[in-house]
């Protein structure tokens, strides 16, 4: 990697940046899920580690969240953008060298930011915990170069139209910079009180709604048609998805503070808009599932489709929860409980992670021109993720319902803690399975680069048979 930082653009092999991003994302995924498992162990067994400030739950919880969001998910997005955007424009990445620098600065900046966070240097705001100077590095050192590369690659494309995936990539890279700039303004300008609280959740909502959800969906708009060979079921429904994300998904931020003293009109507005999240959700899921017509056997046989369609199917419960749990009728029961933790993991570890994993699997094989090393290990990874996640989600949902019941029946809080204990153990087991599955994944992808079957020119990876 380092040798390409100062090489001429034309001397850097096409796809290098995407490959570096791909492996970086897997490593951050291992870090993030490892921290998650470690933290979950502390909730199940509070005297598991003690007496060391840096190993305490309060110092590591936010490192887990941001390692996963900015390390795993966002780097996998950058990887996908750096190989899918040029592929859809029948061109090369606008600047391969900027891509390599982007990956280098991203890893350095994120490591620095997470280190400071671990030390306790925090803004005290959930999801935008990083201190403001790290936010500036993220905006101008990480997100802007990525956006510029995506936009210029779309501009210099050699095809006539712009495919759905690239609309999402182009718009989401723009929107995420706005979200970071505006969402961190409480720190830039010392905003206080309810403005600060509202903007904290404005950021948290929009980083999911305008970055993670649309980009993950955009990836599947590429992977499913590419691997199955079916054209996208409907370009028009793609339009509906895109525009309803921009119009509806960007507005319900206040539904995260339904029980806070925010203006009532804002909460009601956010709640109604929140239900309208079902519009892009239904458009997305139906479009992708209908694209699968006639190729459903690939859901079983093909690793990339298995991951992608699992992710798409998980978008159904995700959005059903997301659309309705924020209405006043339901929110009073589950607000602030483990239900929400389960829902957040359904979004990031269920829906989104499965789509990105497919993009990383597919991208690394295409770029390295090597067939996946082992199908068995990939299936093992899939099932470890799926069973681990399901264990996590089920246990946290039950814990959340217990907590909600405890809340409305005014049960002494310690009884809720006692009742949740078995589910805390189950959550730790599920999280640990995900972590172990990811370690196997890194090994599999490492061996793919070293020993995978070479893919002949003109062939796609899934056209070759597996050898192991």
Partner 1 sequence: MAFREYKIGARMFGLAFGTSMFITLYMPAVDIANVSVTATGLHRQLSFGRMGGFGYEDPLLTGVNKPVSVILKTDPKSGSPMEATRAYVYEAGVPFPNGLRHPRILGKGPGELSASKGKIAESSETTGAVFVVREVEMNGEMVPYIENATAVRGWNPSDTMQKVSEADRFQIGKGKIMFVREGCWWCHTLLPEETQDWQYFGAPPMLGDFNGENPTAFGSDRKAPDLTHVGSRNSSREWMTLHFFNPRMVQPHSIMPRYDYLWGDVDANGNKINYSAWYASYDEYSAGKRVYPPEVPEPAKDSEARSLIDFVLNLK
Q: Is 50 helix (H, G, I), strand (E, B) or coil?
A: coil
Residues 369-388 that bind partner 1 (CB under 8 A): none
- Segment lying near partner 1 (by CB under 8 A), choices 190-198, 306-314, 366-374, 443-451: 190-198
CA atoms of 421 and 168, how far apart (whole Å):
42
Which residue's CB is nearer to partner 1, number 242 or number 382? Answer: 242
Q: Let me know: does 407 contact 340? Beta carbons within 8 Å.
A: no
Which residue's CB is nearer to partner 1, number 323 or number 461? Answer: 323
CB of 267 to partner 1, least distance (A): 10
> Which letter does DSSP use for residue 58 in this model?
H
Q: Let me know: does 117 contact 194? Beta carbons within 8 Å.
A: no
Which residue's CB is nearer to partner 1, number 1 or number 116? Answer: 116
CA atoms of 218 and 75, how far apart (whole Å):
15
CA atoms of 357 and 278, how far apart (whole Å):
24
Q: Does 118 bind partner 1 (CB under 8 A)?
A: no
Q: Does 164 bind partner 1 (CB under 8 A)?
A: no
Which residue's CB is nearer to partner 1, number 12 or number 134? Answer: 134
x/- track of binding to partner 1 for residues 194-223 (CB under 8 A):
xxxxx-x-x---------------------
Q: Let me know: does 446 contact 353? Beta carbons within 8 Å.
A: no
Q: Does 42 bind partner 1 (CB under 8 A)?
A: yes
CA atoms of 272 and 247, how far apart (whole Å):
13
Residue for token digits 């990083």? 130
CB of 355 to partner 1, least distance (A): 23
Q: Let me know: does 31 contact 2? Beta carbons within 8 Å.
A: no
Taking Cα atoms as reference points, which of 310, 468, 307 lies closest to residue 376? 468
Which residue's CB is nearer to partner 1, number 144 or number 443? Answer: 144
Q: Does 408 bind partner 1 (CB under 8 A)?
A: yes
Going from the C-alpha of 405 to that of each of 40, 339, 422, the distances in angstroms are 23, 12, 17
CA atoms of 156 and 147, how far apart (whole Å):
14
- Segment lying near partner 1 (by CB under 8 A), choices 10-18, 69-77, 153-161, 298-306: 153-161
Q: How many residues sit close enough to partner 1 to count as binding (CB under 8 A)?
A: 82
CA-CA-CA-CA dihedral for 288, 291, 297, 300, to nearest 10: -20
x/- track of binding to partner 1 for residues 68-107 (CB under 8 A):
----------------------------------------
CA atoms of 85 and 94, how far apart (whole Å):
10
Q: Let me know: does 342 contact 286? Beta carbons within 8 Å.
A: no
Q: Does 336 bind partner 1 (CB under 8 A)?
A: yes
Q: Does 177 bind partner 1 (CB under 8 A)?
A: no
Among 226, 306, 335, 343, binds partner 1 (CB under 8 A): 335
Taking Cα atoms as reference points, which of 284, 301, 312 lies closest to residue 164? 284
x/- track of binding to partner 1 for residues 260-299 (CB under 8 A):
xxxx-xx--xx-----------------------------
x/- track of binding to partner 1 for residues 412-441 (CB under 8 A):
-xx--xx--x--x-----------------
Reported as type and span, the H/E element at residue 281 is helix 278-291
CA atoms of 452 and 247, how far apart (whole Å):
44
β-bridge mates for residue 370, sequence order: 454
CB of 307 to partner 1, least distance (A): 28
Going from the C-alpha of 429 to that of each of 279, 432, 433, the distances in angstroms are 35, 5, 6
- Segment lying near partner 1 (by CB under 8 A), choices 10-18, 46-54, 281-289, 367-375: 46-54
Residues 222-251 that bind partner 1 (CB under 8 A): 243, 246-247, 250-251
CB of 437 to partner 1, least distance (A): 25
CB of 86 to partner 1, least distance (A): 16
Among 6, 10, 47, 297, binds partner 1 (CB under 8 A): 47
Which residue's CB is nearer to partner 1, number 223 or number 346? Answer: 346
Q: Does 345 bind partner 1 (CB under 8 A)?
A: no
Q: Does 407 bind partner 1 (CB under 8 A)?
A: yes
């Amino acid at each position: 990697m380092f040798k390409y930082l100062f090489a001429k653009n034309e001397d850097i092999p096409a796809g290098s940046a995407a490959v570096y991003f791909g492996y970086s994302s897997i490593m951050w995924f291992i870090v993030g899920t490892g921290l998650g498992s470690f933290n979950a162990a502390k909730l199940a067994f509070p005297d598991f580690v003690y007496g060391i400030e840096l190993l305490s739950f309060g110092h590591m919880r936010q490192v887990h969240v941001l390692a996963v969001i900015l390390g795993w998910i966002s780097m996998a997005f950058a990887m996908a953008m750096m190989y899918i955007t040029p592929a859809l424009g029948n061109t090369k990445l606008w600047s391969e060298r900027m891509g390599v620098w982007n990956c280098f600065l991203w890893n350095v900046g994120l490591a620095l930011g997470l280190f400071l966070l671990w030390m306790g240097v925090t803004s005290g705001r959930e999801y935008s915990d990083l201190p403001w100077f790290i936010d500036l590095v993220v905006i101008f050192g990480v997100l802007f170069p990525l956006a510029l590369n995506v936009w210029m690659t779309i501009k210099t494309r050699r095809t006539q139209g712009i495919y759905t995936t690239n609309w999402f990539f182009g718009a989401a890279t723009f929107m995420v910079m706005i979200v970071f700039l505006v969402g961190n303004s409480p720190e830039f300008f010392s905003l206080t009180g309810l403005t600060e609280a509202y903007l904290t959740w404005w950021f948290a909502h929009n980083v999911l709604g305008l970055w993670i959800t649309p980009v993950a969906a955009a990836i599947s708009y590429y992977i499913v048609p590419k691997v199955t060979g079916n054209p996208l079921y409907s370009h028009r429904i793609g339009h509906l998805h895109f525009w309803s994300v921009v119009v509806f998904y960007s507005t319900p931020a206040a539904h995260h503070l339904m029980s806070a003293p925010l203006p009532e009109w804002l909460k009601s507005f956010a709640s109604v808009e929140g239900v309208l999240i079902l519009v892009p959700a239904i458009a997305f899921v139906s479009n992708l599932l209908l694209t699968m017509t006639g190729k459903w056997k690939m859901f079983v046989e093909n690793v990339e489709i298995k991951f992608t369609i699992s992710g798409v199917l998980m978008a159904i419960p995700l959005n059903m929860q997301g659309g309705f749990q924020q209405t006043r009728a339901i929110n009073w029961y589950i607000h602030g409980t483990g239900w929400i933790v389960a829902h957040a993991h359904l979004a990031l570890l269920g829906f989104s992670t499965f789509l990105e994993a497919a993009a990383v699997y597919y991208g690394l094989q295409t770029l390295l021109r090597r067939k996946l090393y082992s199908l068995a290990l990939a299936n093992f990874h899939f099932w470890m993720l799926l069973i681990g996640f399901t264990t996590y989600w089920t246990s946290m949902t039950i814990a959340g319902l217990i907590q909600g019941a405890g809340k409305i029946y005014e049960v002494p809080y310690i009884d809720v803690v006692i009742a949740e204990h078995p589910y805390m153990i189950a959550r730790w087991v599920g999280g640990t399975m995900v972590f172990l599955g990811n370690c196997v994944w890194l090994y599999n992808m490492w061996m793919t680069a070293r020993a995978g079957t070479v893919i002949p020119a003109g062939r796609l990876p899934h056209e070759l048979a597996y050898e192991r």
